[in-house]
Structure 1
Amino acid sequence: MILVTGGTGLVGAHLLLHLIKNGANVRAIYRDEKGIQKTKSLFQHYNKLASFDTIEWVQADIIDIPSLENAFVGITQVYHCAALISFEPKDENKLRKINIEGTANIVNFCLSNEVQKLCYVSSIAALGDLAAHETITSEETEWNPEKYHSDYAISKYGAEMEIWRGQQEGLKIIIVNPGVILGTGFEEQGSGQLIKRVGEGLKFYTYGKTAFVAVDDVVRIMIQLMESAICNERFIIISDNITFKDLFDTIADTLKVKRPSIEAKPFLLELYWRFSWLTHLFSNKPNNVSKNTVRSFLNQTTFSNQKIKKTLQTSFLDVHQYIRDNFSVR
């Protein structure tokens, strides 16, 4: 039987959809009923409610060791998708607790239960830092502890260290490092918030860029890697490196709203995150834009997907077409 952690999140829910479609016996961890409803809604969206009922749900938390005991009974493979995504400085301790300590718990249970293979969903945030002579980030780019990293990036890097520790102790592992993941059903999380903001009339854009990928490609490749003899490797999973202006224009055209038309210069973004922080400080309103968010919108890093393309002889969905196919106004 296959265990999926984070089955109520974007990647985990889509992974469950694909695993069930392939006829797998699946158990998924959930923390509360509300989370299960999100996954159920995704299955309903794809007219797969009957398949949803075949999932065995176990209430557990990756940082609560006793609750994981029952979840691992009879498990042969684990997809570890559960994580906290936050760029708020106040969440530093929670990020380390959930992403690093939680991953250590999963690794330990895999080892003690003789799980055959573990797939961990990391992030491009956990990849290395370019040296002066380098221009493209790959799986071999070395992490430089002297460079600045967000708390989120540090937590995902720390989680990867736990995965490699498991590998050294005899566990077969796969690490995937997706870019920004685009997918349906989770509009209040991650990339869903970007799409929502553009739909609500976002006015600003930047020429910063990052790597994007459709969730369908992420889960398809995860399953292929887990079903293959490939192990003890990490793979960057991205479709393309795209500027935020290009992405926002495609989203706006798809949603039939006005494109963002004002370039947000670095100094303007610096002012904005400070204003947002002050507003949060004195009014208790949510801080929608952090310093780390600003950094991401100005980023110019280019990521390589050549390793996974060569290893699996695979190609990726076009991100722009994926947006048009899945987010258009009906």
Structure 2
Amino acid sequence: MKKVVLVTGASGYLGGRLCHALLNQGYCVKAFVRKTSDLSSLPPPTGAASTGGGTLQYVYGDVTDYQSLLEAFSGCHVIFHAAALVEPWIPDPSRFTTVNVGGLRNVLNAYKETNTIEKIIHTSSFFALGSTDGHIGDETQVHSAKYFCTEYEKSKAVADKIALEAAAEGVPIVPVYPGVIYGPGKVTTGNMVALLLVERFNYRLPGYMGEEKGFSFSHVDDVVQGHIAALDKGRPGERYLLTGENASFKDVFDIAATITQTAKPRFRIPLFLIEVYGWLSVLFARITGKLPLLSPPTANVLRHQWAYNCDKAKTELGYNPRSLKEGLTEMLPWLKSSGLIKY
């Protein structure tokens, strides 16, 4: 019998790509989405088999609505909990706790009331482990919880602790930790590299961003395969970093310039200017209701290093992340063909 998998956050950047991959591998996929969600990244729920033999069904609800989540769990064997509120800043920061912490609690409670669930793959974040100033982090790193750059980071660290406590109590949950996800697909805050490249190639971001600090960049399709590998091979309670090449945003812009044969930025934008611009953007956002691309929390993140080692996922899951150059070589023509950039 084909396994029935539920993907929360199915309309999101990662969730949509995950649904496509699961379908092509023959799974019966239930895409958990809100009535108001943008479903453009998902195939239509025709019920017909995909090229891989899978089927897709939309189920409507919200991870903050326990009853809708519990009903969606019915008949499922695997849960991919990819739903999250991913923003550096929002007007009501309590929403991060409601969605990212409360949503996971609801998933765990629904699991206890459902007797068919074999495994839960929980999409965490590198932020849940904390910054790695002066070293390369791995799965043994625990967030100090003394300081958080963003409310999003705080919510993911709290949720991570809850996931690990649940695993210790016997819940078959496997937490995975992507890095800075990028690649083709939805251009949202969950795809920050794409957003910045759009700004860069449209001459709205004239210089390098911030300090020469390292981030771990993960191509979205590598992260998707890492999730599916965690279903097959991941050990409950074990953490797996689905990160990639450690580099800076300067490296991203330089590699992009080389690939597109365009000029590299000639200067670095000081962090204090990014912070000032962030405060102005927040003020503008409060007036217009449109969330800003850059905000003061963004400047806080840029002050730190977020570099990680994914050897454990490579060894145990067969995770095989592509290089940043490989990923950008694929992504930039896609941005161009989508009409988002010119070069």
Q: TM-score, normalised by structure 2?
A: 0.85
Q: What root-mean-square deviation, in Å, do the aligned CA atoms of Structure 1 and Structure 2 show?
A: 2.6
Paired-residue identity, %:
27
Identify the residue that residue 198 of structure 2 maps to in structure 1.
196
Find the aligned partners of 2:148 and 2:37 in 1 and give their Cα distance: 36
Deviation at 1:271, TM superposition (A): 3.1
Find the aligned partners of 1:286 and 1:68 in 2 and give their Cα distance: 28
Identify the residue that residue 340 of structure 2 maps to in structure 1.
none
What amino acid sits opposite 1:78 in the alignment? I
Identify the residue that residue 39 of structure 1 maps to in structure 2.
42
Identify the residue that residue 10 of structure 1 maps to in structure 2.
13
Find the aligned partners of 1:163 and 1:21 in 2 and give their Cα distance: 29
Deviation at 1:283, TM superposition (A): 7.0
SS at 1:56 equivalent: strand
Count of aligned pairs between the two proteins = 323
Identify the residue that residue 268 of structure 1 maps to in structure 2.
273
**What is the CA deviation profile of residues 56-84 of structure 1, one whole-angstrom value per residue up to 9, with x for unaligned ones?**
11011100112123211111110000000
Identify the residue that residue 174 of structure 1 maps to in structure 2.
174
Identify the residue that residue 95 of structure 1 maps to in structure 2.
96
SS at 1:2 equivalent: strand
Of residues 232, 244, 253, the one that matches 1:227 is 232
Find the aligned partners of 2:13 and 2:219 in 1 and give their Cα distance: 11
SS at 2:40 equivalent: helix
Of residues 245, 248, 266, the one that matches 1:243 is 248
Asked if 1 retains the 8 angstrom alpha-carbon contact of 2:131 and 2:304, the reply is no
SS at 1:176 equivalent: strand
Asked if 1 retains the 8 angstrom alpha-carbon contact of 2:24 and 2:51, the reply is no
Unaligned 5+ segments in structure 1 are none
Distance 1:204 1:13, change over 3 A: same
SS at 2:216 equivalent: strand
Identify the residue that residue 86 of structure 1 maps to in structure 2.
87
Superposed counterparts of 1:127-138, under 5 Å = 127-128=129-130, 135-138=135-138
Asked if 2 retains the 8 angstrom alpha-carbon contact of 1:111 and 1:166, the reply is no
What amino acid sits opposite 1:327 in the alignment? L
Identify the residue that residue 159 of structure 1 maps to in structure 2.
159
Find the aligned partners of 2:137 and 2:320 in 1 and give their Cα distance: 19
Identify the residue that residue 126 of structure 1 maps to in structure 2.
128
- Larger deviation, residues 267-276 vs 249-258: 249-258
Identify the residue that residue 62 of structure 1 maps to in structure 2.
63
Find the aligned partners of 1:155 and 1:266 in 2 and give their Cα distance: 25
Q: TM-score, normalised by structure 1?
A: 0.88
Distance 1:199 1:158, change over 3 A: same
Asked if 1 retains the 8 angstrom alpha-carbon contact of 2:229 and 2:319, the reply is no
